[in-house]
Amino acid sequence: MIVKSKAVKLGNNVDTDVILPGKYLALTDPAELGNHAMEGVSAGFASKFTDGAVIVAGENFGQGSSREHAAIALKAAGVRCVVAESFARIFYRNAINIGLPALECLGILTQVTDGDQLSVDLERGEIKNLRTGATVGAEPIPHDLLQVLNDGGIIEHLRKKRAHR
């Protein structure tokens, strides 16, 4: 599974209140949530990435509250993958559960400039910067979690498993 898209570079400690401000937690439509993704950092974030985006961030991405809304909003905004030096545990699990790939990659912030075109091999854990030609190794997504991602998230994955019984 390979994801190709433009990099959106962020820093360390991006919390769920920045990813999706709390005032939007009453929304339930993913498209509406996506319209407000990263609103505090970049007005109109979703409209800037109609061809998708790969978020590249530092340490502790997704810290803060355990709101699943944050991961849903990113996916609905066109984020195809998040690559960070580390993730808050609950955000990582929420991302995988809703079908948003998340990879840990130490030192990624020094390898990418905002707007670089990236190719992310989820299975092998390789991130290639198509502008520079450099390839960086990341922690590959485990096989069982890749299956969840391939199925579109945990709900669809469980439905498929149940159907095959």
Q: Are the beta carbons of 91 and 74 closer than 8 angstroms? A: no
Predicted pLDDT at 130: 97
Predicted pLDDT at 72: 96
Predicted pLDDT at 44: 74
Predicted pLDDT at 73: 95
Predicted pLDDT at 46: 76
Instruction: Say how far apart CA 153 and CA 118 lie, in whole Å.
Output: 23
Predicted pLDDT at 1: 87
| Other Cβ atoms closer than 10 A to 121 | 17
Predicted pLDDT at 42: 76
Report domain extents, the chain: 2-163
Homologous superfamily of 2-163: Aconitase, domain 4 (3.20.19.10)
Q: Are the beta carbons of 46 and 69 closer than 8 angstroms? A: no
* pTM of the complete model: 0.93
Predicted pLDDT at 165: 74
User: What are the per-10-residue average pLDDT scores of the chain (165 residues)?
Assistant: 93 94 93 90 76 94 91 95 96 96 96 95 96 94 94 93 83
Side by side, the strands of the sheet bearing 126-129 are 102-104, 79-84, 53-57, 2-9, 117-121, 126-129, 135-137
Predicted pLDDT at 47: 77
Predicted pLDDT at 159: 92
